[in-house]
Chain A
Amino acid sequence: MNRLPIGFGLLLAFQAFLVVALWAVDPVQYTGQRLFGSILAAQLVIIAIFLHLYLSGSEDYDQEWVAVGLAFIVLICLLAYFVFAG
């Protein structure tokens, strides 16, 4: 079983979730701009992971970088929850 497409699918689903969340939060009226920024930052990290995986192609890629990227997303989400939104 190739796990890469599943990983891509999960990341895409997460990104879609973020977009829906953004739509629900409505940044035009919502004053929590830092929260908005943190969501964008999380998206950027996700795009960076995509890029890393894409550029690696079929070659063996460094999975630890994916873990680093995911951990950064966790960090951004935590900051958004505990600091920006709190």
Chain B
Amino acid sequence: MDFLLFLIGILLPYVTVIIFLGGLTFRAARWWSIPVPTKVMLTPAPTTWPGVFERLTLEFVAFRSLTKGGWKLWLGAWLFHILLGVTLLTHLINFFDYGLWNQIGYGWYEGAGYAGIIFAAVVAFLFLRRVVHPGVRYISKASDYGLLLLLLSLILLGDYTRSFSGVDVSAVSQYLNGLLTLHPTLPPDNPAFLLHLLLAQVFLMYLPFSKVAHLVGWIMAPTRNQRNDARARWHRNPWNPVVELEPYASYAARYQRELEELGPGGERQ
């Protein structure tokens, strides 16, 4: 058991961080290095950078483009991300300062528990939607189902850990603080917590190589982060070879004799 505790609680977290950050950086760098030969923004698109910022902010806050997929999908996805944010926030509080809950208030702590339960139901909706809707089922791959099932089990285990496992949250907080300050200690010996921790690490390791990489991808989509200035500005295609341009004056000077031999119509006399 001690070996398992060491593996899941001390070794794997650092491996996870390396794979997560390295994978995300790798993917972002690969996307960044792909040339964009033409202007491909989705119109109507803003013509200025502040406009692009506004568009991306609206996308980030309200998932505007998702409304085209129907309001039920939009609501499900929006709720999912809001509850994800709440979950991340509560985890961060547990990470850094568990005592903060005393200042925030017990009501918010309870609320976070309810958020976790609704979170599971929303993920269940996104999963069931893939199963029930023939159109969505047709375009779904095994990885789509797998990701949602992984998330669902992760969240349910989290809910269970919080409500019924009887894990000492202050001990968890101390353990996580130890990880952050590079003075790791063995995690609390609680099966539900350890399984939750393991699944979270599996998810984080898989994240950069899955479609969840839209975490960084949304801001790099040329369809949304380009300005609609195709007529006003020259868009340089990075694939094109560099062409030396010669002004007409020097061209004419260089080929003056030949040009004079040709008549005004460009035909030899």
Contacts and interface: CB of A to CB of B under 8 A. Distances in A.
A66 B131 CA distance: 10
B125 A68 contact: yes
A68 to B, nearest CB: 6
B132 interface: yes
Contact of A67 (B128, B159, B163, B164): B128
A18 interface: no
B124 A70 contact: yes
A70 B73 CA distance: 15
Contacts of B72: 64-65, 67-68
Interface stretch (A19-27, A29-37, A75-83): A75-83
Contacts of B164: 86
Contact of A74 (B70, B121, B134): B121
B163 A86 contact: yes
Interface in B189-241: none
A78 B158 CA distance: 13
Given A64-B133, A71-B122, A86-B164, A78 B117 contact: yes
A71 B128 CA distance: 7
Interface residues of B, number: 22
A75 B132 contact: no
B134 A63 contact: yes
A50 interface: no
Contacts of A68: 72, 125
A75 B117 contact: yes
B262 interface: no
Interface in B33-76: 70, 72-73
Contacts of A86: 163-164
Interface residues of A, number: 16
B133 A63 contact: yes
B129 interface: yes
A83 B118 CA distance: 12
B124 A74 contact: yes
A16 to B, nearest CB: 21
B154 interface: no
Interface in B156-209: 156, 159, 163-164
A64 B114 CA distance: 24
Contacts of B10: none
Contacts of B134: 63
Contacts of B73: 64
A82 B159 CA distance: 8
Contact of A71 (B113, B114, B125, B159): B125
Interface of A: 63-68, 70-72, 74-75, 78-79, 82-83, 86
Interface of B: 70, 72-73, 113-114, 117-118, 120-122, 124-125, 128-129, 131-134, 156, 159, 163-164
13 contacts: A64-B129, A65-B72, A67-B72, A67-B132, A68-B125, A70-B128, A70-B132, A71-B128, A74-B121, A75-B120, A75-B124, A79-B117, A86-B163
> Lowest 7 CB-CB distances: which A-B pairs, in order?
A71-B125, A75-B121, A74-B124, A67-B129, A67-B128, A63-B133, A67-B132
